Amino acid sequence: MGTATAAHHYATINPYTGEVVREFESLDSTEVDRAVETAHEAFGSWRRRPIEDRAAIVRRAGELLAERRDRFARLATLEMGKLIGAAEEEVHLSARILVYYGDEGPGFAAPRPLSTDAGDAVLVSEPLGVLLGIEPWNYPLYQVVRFAGPNLVLGNTILLKHAGNCPQTALALEELFRDAGAPDGVYTNMFMETRDIERVLESPVVQGAALTGSDRAGASVAEIAGRNLKKTVLELGGSDPFIALDGERLERTVEAAAMGRLENMGQSCVASKRFIVLPELYDDFLTGMRDRFAALEPGDPADPETTCGPLSSEQAVKTLMEQIEDAVEKGATVVIGGGRPDLPGAFMEPTILTDVTPDMRAYHEELFGPVAVVYRVADDEAAIALANDTEFGLGGSVFASDLDRAQRVADRVDGGMVWINHPTASRPELPFGGIKRSGYGRELSDLGMQEFVNKKLICAVPPDAPIRGFAG
């Protein structure tokens, strides 16, 4: 069994076996600079192509992705341990996003007339230039295309720094856009070290950056970009509340809770993480969750019968175990799990904690894996207060048979997205993003084309009109 070397930051390491499958060299500083310049040169011609042509290439990329579903799904499973069924779903969603922007993007970027007595005013959408995308491993396809799709249609060019543990997926995405017809330099994969991010953002031709990752990484990129007056969009961590208000459809609520927590083995920014339950349904809810966690069978993520896959890495397991151990030492109760199964690979037992208090790491920190924290609260007011007692503000869910009651609670939950009677999900046509330490800006929907864009006013005044001054 191989071990990735320090010189090979980019390596496919199978989380199921720990085997180092393949390693890749990072770019040196000269190669980084060359990639930036090539992207800038490509922008000059790419922006001048009709938007319908750019959209057709993005749409074709979506069609090709759907055709290559098996290959991309297998890569995601190999490189980050995603259950094969979940990997296939990610491919499907990613293809839909590219097709969506191929179809709808030109309309989103269409000139918009403005009502004014100053003359004929119109707001036009122009691309900014070269953009840097810094994307994580947990959704190695979806995170990339939701950034790249709308910006390629708009006319920006993309430099993509992917996570170090999914290099083959990164290369396959670059090939995808090339095969769809994107010219050289329009979409460039960069096996780039973290230290080179500042170098890229300091380049005068790079106009912005989008990052999906931890709040610490987001703060670092925002600081560099801010010093260089570059726009950023950040989608960071989450500690999403799942509020259960009544037990009328308890079986469905518990099913949704388990799905919301265990999607991608809990390695999702918008996974349901804190389960806030009223007293009359608490015991039955907890029992239902425990039963569903107990039914999971660990195994090879490439086997469709496996229901519990590995985490992405040994480090991911280590971090979660430290958070659990801290909680238990300070009085938390382990309802189920709390350890590691007797298996090779980056496995962890699906875990439920109760009696978690504010002095514990599990109360404040994001638990990025199959660990649920369940709280009992007295009433709706207490549920809202606990839901908002976090530095994060990404997604959230409210479950109730009374939709008016659910709406009242949802209105007061801090977050960029709140779903009623469904775990937080993603659709091409719905905006995605958060507040507080979960970041800022939005991806997907029409808003996905409103971030890295120059909204330029052009106001045509008749040549014989009077000159009325600045405020006229």
Q: Which residues are catalytic?
A: 235, 269
What is the Cα–Cα distance from 312 to 83, expressed in whole angstroms?
11
What is the Cα–Cα distance from 147 to 152, expressed in whole angstroms?
9
* Structure-block tokens of residue 315: 């480090």
What is the Cα–Cα distance from 319 to 326, expressed in whole angstroms?
11
Number of neighbours of residue 118 by Cβ within 10 angstroms: 12
Number of neighbours of residue 2 by Cβ within 10 angstroms: 12
Query: Is the CB of residue 384 less than 8 Å from the CB of residue 276?
Result: no
What is the Cα–Cα distance from 369 to 351, expressed in whole angstroms?
9
What is the Cα–Cα distance from 258 to 274, expressed in whole angstroms?
12
Q: Pick the closest to residue 416 from 210, 232, 213, 270 (CA basis).
A: 270
The three-state secondary structure class of 179 is: helix
Please, what sign has the CA dihedral across residues 258, 263, 268, 269?
Answer: negative
3-state helix, strand, coil in the chain (%, to 5): 40, 20, 40
Please, what sign has the CA dihedral across residues 336, 84, 235, 192?
Answer: positive
